[in-house]
Every structure is written in C-alpha cells, then in structure tokens.
Amino acid sequence: MGIELMDKASDDARRDQPFFAASQYRDGLIIALMAARPLRIRNFQDIELLRTLVYRSGTYWLVFGEDETKTGRPVDIEVPRPLTPYLESYLRLHRSILLAKRPAGTKPTTALWVSRSGEKMQEPAMRENIKRRTKIVFGHAINPHLFRDCAATSFATDDPEHVRCIAALLGHTTLATSDTYYDQARMVTAARLFSATMMKIRNDLLEIFDDKAIRAFLIEAQQLGPDDGI
C-alpha cells in the first residue's frame, strides 16, 4: 500500500499537483517504512537527518540511543534496501516541496517527516494520517501500534524458526512478548489449516456430486423436518 501511494504520487507530481503529491508520497513512505521497521510512534516521528537517520556502508540506518527509547535499549537498524530509492526520492524532491510551505524567515527543520505547513510533523498528525490512509484501502483504520503487532505476527507465521528475532525487531528487553506473538502465529496457522481442510472436503464433494445435485439435496433438506431423518 505504501509503495502504491508513492508510485501514484510520483505520477501526480509530474502534472499540476506537486504539493498534494508530496504529502501523499510522504504518507506512503511512512506506511511502507513503518510496516518494515515498526518503531514506536514517538521514535518514528522523531527521525532526524544526520542524527537518527544516517548513511553508512552504502545504505541508510535508523539509530537511537538508549536514552531515546522506551525500554532503554539502543536502536541501530538498517532501512530496507528496496525502500532506499523511495527514501532518496523523498529527500531529493518531495520533502523540499513540503519545506517550502514553512513560515517565512524560519529555518528548515531537520526532521525527516515534514508537515503540510512545512514544519516538523507531530505525532497526532502522523497517527491520523496513517489511520485515514489505511481506512480508505482496508475498510478500517490501522493505528501505528498495530503495525508492530502485524510485523511480529507475520514474522512468527512466515519464519517461526527465527521468532526470537522479534524482540530485537521491536526493541523488547525480554523474549516473553515474542512468545506471545508466537502463540498468535500458531493460532493463525491453525485457522489456515482448518480453512484449507474445509475447502478440500468441499472440493471432494463437488467431484462426487455436481452443483445441481447438491442444490437439489439442500432444497429437499430444507423441506423435510427433524422427524424425517435429516
């Protein structure tokens, strides 16, 4: 979803909507980066150029000291390389468009996320933008904290052998929360297995009876009562 927002915004920027395209591109990058690197919203909102967003070893890193995180654990995590071109496009073009809206005579902010007024984007605005964008696409709003749950559960479901990495991904001090997500993942796996089994039973029945025969059976069953042996 985040990448689709950015790709659409890039097309709009070539037309006559550069400011609105820049806002959409920013929101798309926020969603894509948060999905892959689900920091707590306060740290995510506080990403700053050359301080907590640094470039080294040919890629970008998110770096927070132990005094900047809720758990007291430092964060030093790579920005996913597939997002690097999008991040650089935002830094080069879209962020500059948003910065141009800042009040006259003020210094440009060093914050990565720039609001529509050209200043550092605040947490409430970021939270509402994420919820609004996700509600449009998914039919219900996804708050920033749920990104952490989704990332951890997906990790546990898709790569359970390395489920212990969840603690490092989310910055937890213990593995207890990782175990919780692992339990959630096992429930998801069980639900998928149940659904697959039911579909197999249905398909096996369809091979024995055609759709017309099944419909006739159901109609007959509805017309008969419990005393008729149904």
Number of domains in the chain: 2
Spatial CB neighbours of 50, under 8 Å, sequence gap ≥ 6: 110
Residues 34 and 116 in one domain: yes
Residues 150 and 225 in one domain: yes
Residues 6 and 79 in one domain: yes
186, 189, 196, 197, 203 from 193: Cα distances, Å: 10, 6, 5, 6, 15
Residues 45 and 125 in one domain: yes
What pLDDT, in 10s, does the model give residues 133-182? 999 999 999 999 899 888 877 777 777 676 667 766 776 666 566 566 55
Residues 129 and 155 in one domain: no
Residues 18 and 117 in one domain: yes
- Give the CATH number for residue 90: 1.10.443.10
Residues 30 and 131 in one domain: yes
- Domain limits at 170? 143-230
- Out of 106, 121, 142, a domain closes at 142
What pLDDT, in 10s, does the model give residues 90-99? 999 999 999 9
Q: What is the pTM of this model?
A: 0.74
